């Protein structure tokens, strides 16, 4: 049986999230779960129970309206997380969970389902291919911390202030 999670109290949901994302603090999981339940038009989550009381798999998805790499339409349903406990793998649980997301995505007006995986996670790549996904791009993300106001040397601040004043004067 697969059941949609509509409450943070859904049996097994938190435990499965903690297994998938063990570095995330419990309170953060609970906060995210509450947010997802409060926004059912944007988020969906399902738990699979192959036997009563045994939560064996989890899928979470969201509607993304910004550009999603490798897709051609918007909005796009995005597979945010998929996890099946080790002893229940290779039994069709992931496929059934993703099928539920696909039905939800179509009902929400989406024409594509996207996902991502870390470059080194070959197991995830194989699982995605087995579930019918095609690889579209490989990407490395970069970031740069920005200095906050007050951390620039005074001469730069002075130059920036003068530059804004000069630019402002030209406009008037």
162 in a domain, yes or no?
Answer: no
d(CA 99, CA 125): 18
In a domain, 165, yes or no: no
Distance, in Å, from the CA atom of 125 to the CA atom of 38, rounded to the nearest integer, reads 31
* DSSP one-letter code for 24: S
Burial of 96 (0-12, 13-18, 19+ CB in 10 A): middle
Cα-based distances in Å from 152 to 148, 160, 163: 8, 10, 15
pLDDT tens across the length of the chain (172 residues): 999 999 999 999 999 999 999 999 999 999 999 999 999 999 999 999 999 999 999 999 999 999 899 999 999 999 999 999 999 999 999 999 999 999 999 999 999 999 999 999 999 999 999 999 999 999 888 999 999 887 655 555 554 545 444 444 444 4
Task: Count how many residues are written for the chain.
Answer: 172
Tell me, yes or no, whether 156 lies in a domain: no
| The pTM of the whole model exceeds 0.75 | yes
What's the CATH code of the domain at 88?
3.40.630.30
> Burial letters for 19-47: b for 16+ Cβ neighbours within 10 Å, e otherwise?
eeeeeeeeeebeebbeebbeeeeebbbbb
Does residue 159 sit within a domain? Answer: no
β-pair partners for 64? 76
Q: Is residue 150 part of a domain?
A: no
Domain that holds residue 7: 2-140
How far, CA to CA in Å, does 148 sit from each of 142, 144, 154, 158, 161?
19, 12, 13, 15, 15
In a domain, 16, yes or no: yes
Query: In this structure, is residue 114 part of a structural domain?
Result: yes
Q: Is residue 50 part of a domain?
A: yes
User: Number of folded domains in the chain?
Assistant: 1
């Amino acid at each position: 049986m697969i059941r949609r999670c509509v409450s943070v109290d859904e049996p097994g949901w938190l435990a499965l999230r903690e297994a998938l994302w063990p570095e995330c603090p419990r309170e953060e999981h609970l906060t995210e779960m509450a947010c997802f339940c409060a926004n059912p038009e944007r988020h969906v989550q399902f738990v699979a129970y192959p036997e009563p009381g045994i939560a064996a798999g989890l899928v979470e998805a969201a509607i993304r309206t910004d550009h999603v790499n490798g897709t051609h339409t918007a909005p796009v349903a995005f597979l945010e997380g998929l996890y099946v406990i080790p002893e229940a793998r290779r039994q069709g649980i992931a496929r059934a969970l993703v099928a539920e997301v696909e039905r939800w995505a179509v009902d929400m007006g989406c024409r594509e389902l996207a996902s991502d995986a870390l470059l080194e996670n070959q197991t995830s790549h194989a699982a995605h291919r087995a579930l019918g996904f095609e690889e579209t791009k490989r990407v490395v993300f970069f970031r740069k911390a920005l200095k906050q106001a007050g951390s620039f040397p005074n001469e730069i601040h002075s130059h920036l202030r003068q530059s804004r004043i000069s630019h402002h004067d030209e406009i008037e």
